[in-house]
């Protein structure tokens, strides 16, 4: 064994290998392919495929160390050869397994791995990468369009589009709609379409549903050329139990916890990764970096973090699931998350890692050296639940639930938050966003415009799932394209224009994002008007003259001559109004000038008098400088 290979083996078994995919798996050598796989409790391992009629007698692998790495060189094999590992367990049972480190796989329902040497791709996104690495993303706009690649659009006969076919259309669409990032649901190989990619088998294998690895690179490159970042959903907590996958890989728990109570995820029918096992850590940390190195992914959104950090998550507080100190925290998972976040941000300091974490676990976005988990952002699930609950109520009852729209501001700066209106909120009988809104067909649209306008003013980065931008009425369906035909109807066309203009407004106004993680970037004007279900607040930028006054009316009643305290005695102008006729509302045009009154109101020395449209989000700005 070469000295380099010895180092690979050493790092792999210590859980410190950050490029495990360059050593493990199938790789080209002069005249053929070398295969390596980790199967510590296997009695024997062979490589099988069409090339040997799926009989591994002549291609047995040699165990190269006591910790269970197996290796064989096979001459004459090349790119495109399909293969699996025939793994004999200690009981003599042989199971054919896909390669955990394969870069490509057969199109489902077939399950074999495909020899696919990583190719050199001619990237054209150098400007984007340089800009990304220099940018302080905390103090810049981040407005994310979440996409499921299999159902954004479909081909004429309902077939999947290729990554390349989607790339240019999606990049142009997202650019026009003024989003800053796209988040794509998992693209590692997975067997069941209905799992949306969250129950995987091939963590390094770009799903062949939509093309090959070079096609995915083209997709990312195309978005980067439009100055659109790409975030990838990543699932290091659990994996599916299909026979050809990671489950019981060598006949025993290998990638999953050995204790069934901890290793089995009964609610989801999956298995939980053993995040304390060194070889699993090398596998997963290398995988996180793989997507960033090889595919120029800008960020990862880690799915189901709560399932990882609580021993008894989904187990009804099982008394046996306790750590050495008696708590229910999964200490090895906590350490793993700190390691993976540190590894990502050390190598890619301009990138970001999001936690989809639904509990009150403290310091999720604080550094590991102060006891945090080290994420850059956390999805604000509390804001999402409270806000959607409030917005779905009839306006008559909102005054009794006013805290649902104000409470999230109490903890808005406890973490670096992202506000998610994601795919999870528009499936499984939860209704689409537009259909959650109360009232008739016509009344739902101003409610939704108000929600989006309020969301843009709330501290935190933004995320909206595809279809929400034009008011898709049906719940999301993973097996068909969005209802783009709705854009033939005026209300949906107006909604799309509204979201586009709102996104552009967000990007333009520094006060909506420059101090997203600083508490002095937000100030209440009035959070107590529950009787009229109306709130107002200030968002501030770094410049003392950079601020917006936002007023939000959550009822269908116009409030005429409404007093709003303002922080400076200057002329104000209305800079955004969700009730404009071009968006389907009733207001003809914005008010160009509003002069304040020197009378104290809302604990401020002056106020403005405004007419607040029904179900509206309206923003005002002081006229201190010439606006370009």
User: Which of the residues are catalytic?
Assistant: 303, 356
Q: What is the DSSP string of 575-626?
A: EEETTBGGGTSSB-S--S-B--BSS-BTTBSEEEEEEEPSSEEEEEEE--S-
Q: CA-to-CA distance for 499 and 449, rounded, in angstroms?
A: 8
Q: DSSP letter at 47?
A: E
Q: CA-to-CA distance for 101 and 85, rounded, in angstroms?
A: 12
Q: Tell me which residue of 392, 382, 389, 401 sits closest to 460, measured CA to CA.
A: 382
Q: Percentages helix, strand, coil for the chain, rounded to the nearest 5?
A: 30, 25, 45
Q: CA-to-CA distance for 373 and 570, rounded, in angstroms?
A: 45
Three-class secondary structure of residue 124 per DSSP? coil
Q: CA-to-CA distance for 445 and 154, rounded, in angstroms?
A: 27
Q: What is the DSSP string of 202-265?
A: EEEEE-TTS--HHHHHHHHHHHHHTT-EEEEEE--SEEE--TTSSTTTTSS-SSB-SSHHHHEE
Neighbours of 470 (CB within 10 A): 24
C-alpha distance across the termini of the chain, in Å: 66
Distances (CA, A) of 472 to 450, 475, 552: 16, 8, 24
Contact between 524 and 604 under an 8 Å Cβ cutoff? The reply is no
Neighbours of 326 (CB within 10 A): 6
382: burial class by Cβ within 10 Å (0-12, 13-18, 19+)?
middle
């Amino acid at each position: 064994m070469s000295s380099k290979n010895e180092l690979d083996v050493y790092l792999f078994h210590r859980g410190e290998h950050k490029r495990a995919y360059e050593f493990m798996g199938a790789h080209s050598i002069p005249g053929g392919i070398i295969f390596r796989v980790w199967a510590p409790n296997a009695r024997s391992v062979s490589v099988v495929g069409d090339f040997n009629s799926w009989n591994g007698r002549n291609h047995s692998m040699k165990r190269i160390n006591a910790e269970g790495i197996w290796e064989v060189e096979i001459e004459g094999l090349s790119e495109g050869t399909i293969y699996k590992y025939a793994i004999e367990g200690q009981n003599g049972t042989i199971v054919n397994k896909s390669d955990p480190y394969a870069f490509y796989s057969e199109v489902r329902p077939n399950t074999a791995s495909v020899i696919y040497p990583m190719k050199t791709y001619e990237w054209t996104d150098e400007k984007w990468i340089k800009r990304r690495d220099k940018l302080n993303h905390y103090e810049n706009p981040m407005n994310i369009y979440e996409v499921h690649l299999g159902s954004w659009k479909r081909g004429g006969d309902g077939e999947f589009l290729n990554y390349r076919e989607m790339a240019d259309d999606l990049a142009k669409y997202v650019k026009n709609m003024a989003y800053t990032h796209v988040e794509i649901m998992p693209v590692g190989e997975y067997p069941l379409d209905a799992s949306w990619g969250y129950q995987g088998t091939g963590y390094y294998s770009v799903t062949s549903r939509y093309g090959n690895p070079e096609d995915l690179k083209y997709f990312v490159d195309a978005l980067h050329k439009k100055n659109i970042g790409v975030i990838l959903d990543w699932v290091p907590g659990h994996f599916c139990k299909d026979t050809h996958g990671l489950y019981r890989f060598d006949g025993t728990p290998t990638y999953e916890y050995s204790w069934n109570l901890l290793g089995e995820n009964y609610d989801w029918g999956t298995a939980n990764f053993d995040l304390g096992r060194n070889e699993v850590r090398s596998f997963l940390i290398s995988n996180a970096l793989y997507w960033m190195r090889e595919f120029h992914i800008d960020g990862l959104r880690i799915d189901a973090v709560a399932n990882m950090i609580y021993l008894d998550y989904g187990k009804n507080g099982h008394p046996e699931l306790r750590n050495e100190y008696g708590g229910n925290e999964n200490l090895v998972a906590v350490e793993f998350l700190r390691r993976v976040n540190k590894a990502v941000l050390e190598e890619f300091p301009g990138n970001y890692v999001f936690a989809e974490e639904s509990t009150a676990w403290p310091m999720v976005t604080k550094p590991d050296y102060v006891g945090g988990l080290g994420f850059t952002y956390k999805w604000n699930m509390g804001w999402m639940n409270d806000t959607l609950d409030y917005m779905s109520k009839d306006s008559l009852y909102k005054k009794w639930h006013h805290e649902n729209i104000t409470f999230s501001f109490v903890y808005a700066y406890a973490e670096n938050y992202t506000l998610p209106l994601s795919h999870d909120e528009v499936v499984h009988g939860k209704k689409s966003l537009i259909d959650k809104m109360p009232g008739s067909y016509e009344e739902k649209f101003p409610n939704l415009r108000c929600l989006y306008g309020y969301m843009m003013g709330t501290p935190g980065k933004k995320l909206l799932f595809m279809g929400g931008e034009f008011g898709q009425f049906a719940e999301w369906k993973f097996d068909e394209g969005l209802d783009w035909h709705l854009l033939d109807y005026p209300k949906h066309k107006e909604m799309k224009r509204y979201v586009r203009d709102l996104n552009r407004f967000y990007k333009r106004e520094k006060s909506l994002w420059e101090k997203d993680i600083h508490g002095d970037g937000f100030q209440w004007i009035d959070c107590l008007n529950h009787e009229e279900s109306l709130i107002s607040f200030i968002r501030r930028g770094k410049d003392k003259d950079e601020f917006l006054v936002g007023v939000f009316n959550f009822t269908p009643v116009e409030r005429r001559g409404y007093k709003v305290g303002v922080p400076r005695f200057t002329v104000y102008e209305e800079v955004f109004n969700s009730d404009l006729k071009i968006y389907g509302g009733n207001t003809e045009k914005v008010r160009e000038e509003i002069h304040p009154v020197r009378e104290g109101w809302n604990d401020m020395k002056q106020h403005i008098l405004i007419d607040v449209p029904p179900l509206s989000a309206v923003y005002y700005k002081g006229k201190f400088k010439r606006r370009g």
